[in-house]
Structure 1
Amino acid sequence: MTDHDLSALRERAEDGDENALDELVQLAVELGDMDELRRLADGESSDATDELIQLAGELGDMQELRRLAEGGSSDAVDQLIELATERDDLDELRRLADLGNITAAEQLAELTAD
């Protein structure tokens, strides 16, 4: 896809063309383009947000997951807890538990009980 084609696709998406938006999201996923997914997610695309959470989880990008969680994404919080648990990251689980997340508190209790 040329830069011109990409610009045209973005313009169509910005004008409300859902097919163009879907195509942009899929293209960003295929390319692993977190910047494009972030831009689309920030533009209120729930599909882009979902894909960004998945990609950030796969890449172990705690910072991106925190950003999304702080923006209100419960899926990002879940992914963050899962990743923190896999890494035995007690500080992250404690931070989330201190914010009132029961799942993080349970995971923290489980990891510290051993």
Structure 2
Amino acid sequence: MTDRELVELRERAARGDSDAVGQLVELAGERGDLAELRRLAEAGSSDATDELVQAAGELGDVAELRRLADGGNQDAADVLAEIEED
């Protein structure tokens, strides 16, 4: 995907295009782009939140998992507890 296509996809997502949001979540997950996932999650995408928890867990990003868990995300709390057990 070109930079221009990515910009256009973000613009569509900002206008409420759920397909564009889904594509952005998928792309960000594939790239491990936590910043993009965080932005999408904060905009209300539960899929982005789920992907963010998964990516942060895979990367061992304790700070991100703690931030999500402190915000009430039980999945993040569970992953954080698993990491801290190891």
Q: Provide runs of 4+ in structure 1 moved above 2 Å.
A: none
3-state SS of 1:16 partner: coil
Deviations 1:49-79 (A, max 9, x none): 1011011111111000011111111111111
User: In 1, distance between residues paired with 2:58 and 2:6?
Assistant: 26
2:53 maps to which residue?
Answer: 53
TM-score calculated relative to the size of structure 2: 0.94
- Root mean square deviation of aligned Cα: 0.8
User: In 2, distance between residues paired with 1:83 and 1:22?
Assistant: 28
Gaps of 5+ in 1: 87-114
Greater C-alpha radius of gyration: 1
Report the count of equivalent residues.
86
Deviations 1:4-56 (A, max 9, x none): 11111011111111110000000001111111111111111110110110111
User: In 1, distance between residues paired with 2:30 and 2:54?
Assistant: 13
Answer 1 or 2: higher relative contact order, Cα 8 Å, separation at least 6: 2
User: In 2, distance between residues paired with 1:43 and 1:70?
Assistant: 18
Structure 2 residue 23 is the aligned partner of structure 1 residue 8: no
| Alignment of structure 1 residues 17-96 onto 2, 5 Å | 17-86=17-86
1:101 maps to which residue?
Answer: none
* CA positional deviation for 1:2: 1.7
Letter in 2 for 1:8: E
TM-score calculated relative to the size of structure 1: 0.72
| Alignment of structure 1 residues 91-110 onto 2, 5 Å | none
